[in-house]
Amino acid sequence: MPAFTTNVEFGYWIHTGKVLYGRPDDAKKIKYLDWLYKKDTNNEPYSNIDELLNGSINLANQLGVNNENEILPLEKRSIMTRREPEYLTTQKPMV
């Protein structure tokens, strides 16, 4: 079953500079998303998952350098320092 991203969602986020777009070469119903991505970013869509993941890491690190309050670079993230949200620790078990 295909998983579709609506044109509204894609169009809303594409202009932020925080979107990388990729799809398999044989993906169906993607002409509009391809066109919009190329028009807005002047880049071709990714068709290789490894390149997309590397691009995502580079983008996350770049955004972190430009605005420390917005996104933390991947090399500075640590699972060990994350705390559970308060709502998970304050709930009482159901009886």
Q: What are the tokens at 48?
A: 């290789």
Residue 2 resides in a domain: no
By the 10 Å C-beta count (0-12 exposed, 13-18 middle, 19+ buried), 33 is classed as buried
- Its pTM stands at 0.60
Residue 15 resides in a domain: yes
Residue 1 resides in a domain: no
For residue 85, the enclosing domain spans 7-90
Domain count, the chain: 1
pLDDT of residue 37 exceeding 60: yes
What is the C-alpha to C-alpha distance for residues 63 and 45, in angstroms, rounded to an integer?
Answer: 20
pLDDT range class, residue 83, cuts 50, 70, 90: low
pLDDT range class, residue 80, cuts 50, 70, 90: very low
Radius of gyration in angstroms for the set of CA atoms belonging to the chain, rounded to a whole number: 18
Residue 95 resides in a domain: no
- Residues 7-32 have a mean pLDDT of 85
pLDDT recorded at residue 48:
94
pLDDT of residue 74 exceeding 60: no
